[in-house]
Amino acid sequence: MTSKITEEVPWEPNPEVMKLWPEISGNTINGIGEQEKHAPRPVFWRADGTISHTDVLFYFYNRDNDNERITASRKLREEPIAMPLVDISAEQIEKTFAEWSELVKKMAQEMGADQAGICEYQPEWTYEDRPQPTGKWAIMLAFAHNYDNLNTAPHEDAYIEVMVQYARAAKSAKLLANWIREQGWHADPKMGPNTEDVLMIPAAIEAGLGQLGKHGSMINRKFGSNFRLSMVLTDLPLNPDQADDFGSDEFCQNCQICANACPPDAIFREKQMVRGEKKWYVDFDKCIPYFVDNKCCGLCLPACPWSRPRIAENLVQKMAKRKEQGTN
């Protein structure tokens, strides 16, 4: 079943999917309404059978098994995932923090990333049932989508585009981790989305790659919401970047485009308290039934004005001007 923004008949959840839905709400697992800060609990992208929504996840994975294009796109990630991690060289190269920071970003771009940022890794980004990973610093990598492909959502072309970018993200993270290990320093790639032990979005925000949008995804000052992430954790001596506040959060306060574009009306119009933080949040119990009932979704990403080609820069300027004039 596919639904587009212009569809007049309200979307109804597929009973076949709802038969598989567990009693517990995904929002409860995510910690909606919880005032205390605590580690995230795994809710969906984990295929080891340990999550409450396992049957729903496998419904999604299995429904297109006979679709050769989708199967081929999923296989793209296998090659970088299978690439071995090299041993950490016994000879440790020494440079200053500033030199490493500059060099590691240059190497990230040479290895395919469209943007890179650095932050100190926070233990609260690790899922509660996973051990803390090694590495003081998170190097966050961004990979821009082809907008036209993403804009076909929820058609399978959009899903294939996402898989292509996740494959690129995985390959770059693995190559960068191996390069750091050759310099004699620990490095561990996290390749998204099934990384299973760490949250990527809060790290990417800290690393200056963008701000959280109302649609629950990030907005970058150049790519809008039109990008994917991967991460490399390392002990290489690095300097952190600053979070990048370019006004998209204020923009979201007065914009409802993604919320209006979402067929199951999953996007909360106001920020919600989630694990001790008030933030934009998407209703899991509405989004995921739509997502798995289609070949994917992500309609909210190309719908966001920041994602449209050549628009983000103008919006950054507009928001800076508003800030100067005190009209936010």
Rule CB under 6 A: which residues touch ligand SF4? 213-215, 251-252, 255, 257-258, 262, 264, 266-267, 282, 287, 290-291, 297-300, 303-306
Cβ within 8 Å of residue 259, ≥6 positions away: 214, 215, 265, 267, 268, 269
- Whether cis (ω within 30° of 0) applies to the bond prior to 154 is yes
State both tokens at 196: 């299973």
CB of 140 to ligand SF4, least distance (A): 20
Of the pair 154, 189, the CB lying nearest ligand SF4 is at 154
Of the pair 121, 290, the CB lying nearest ligand SF4 is at 290
State both tokens at 288: 């995921």
CA distance 324 to 328: 9
Q: What CA dihedral angle connects 115, 241, 166 and 104, to 10 degrees?
A: 70
Crossing angle of helices 54-63 and 284-293, in 10° steps, is: 30
Q: Left if phi > 0, otherwise alpha if psi is -120 to 50, otherwise beta: which for 32? A: beta
Of the pair 135, 247, the CB lying nearest ligand SF4 is at 247
φ, ψ of residue 216 in degrees (nearest 5)? 80, 0
CB of 172 to ligand SF4, least distance (A): 25
**DSSP letters spanning 131-143:** PPPS-SEEEEEEE
DSSP summary character for residue 125: G
CB of 181 to ligand SF4, least distance (A): 36
Of the pair 69, 308, the CB lying nearest ligand SF4 is at 308
Of the pair 274, 297, the CB lying nearest ligand SF4 is at 297
CB of 127 to ligand SF4, least distance (A): 21
Of the pair 198, 300, the CB lying nearest ligand SF4 is at 300
CA distance 113 to 51: 31
Of the pair 238, 299, the CB lying nearest ligand SF4 is at 299
**What distance lies between CA 79 and its chain's CA centroid?**
21
CB of 217 to ligand SF4, least distance (A): 7
CB of 83 to ligand SF4, least distance (A): 30
CB of 48 to ligand SF4, least distance (A): 24
